[in-house]
Amino acid sequence: MIYTLTVFSDRGETLLDDTFESPNDSDAREEGIRRLKEGQFEHKGARVTRAGKLIHFERAYLPKIVPAKST
């Protein structure tokens, strides 16, 4: 089966849109996570899909915005 791995920047831009083959959804999820780590996209928004079905979803970890201290 053909799967698509898509990675997004914090602004929603597509950083990676790649396809790969895998025998089943479980193996595809593991392969997608492996590719995220390999490409150093671990803290980006990402998804693995097959024919419109969501197999894996990774939320982006946005930096925490701390308001300036008032003096």
Tens of pLDDT, residues 19-28: 999 999 999 9
How far is 59 from 57, CA to CA, in rounded Å?
7
Q: What is the pTM of this model?
A: 0.81
The DSSP-derived string for 42-64 is TTSEEEEEETTEEEEEE---PPP
Tens of pLDDT, residues 18-65: 999 999 999 999 999 999 999 999 889 999 999 999 999 988 766 666
Token representation of residue 37: 């780590």
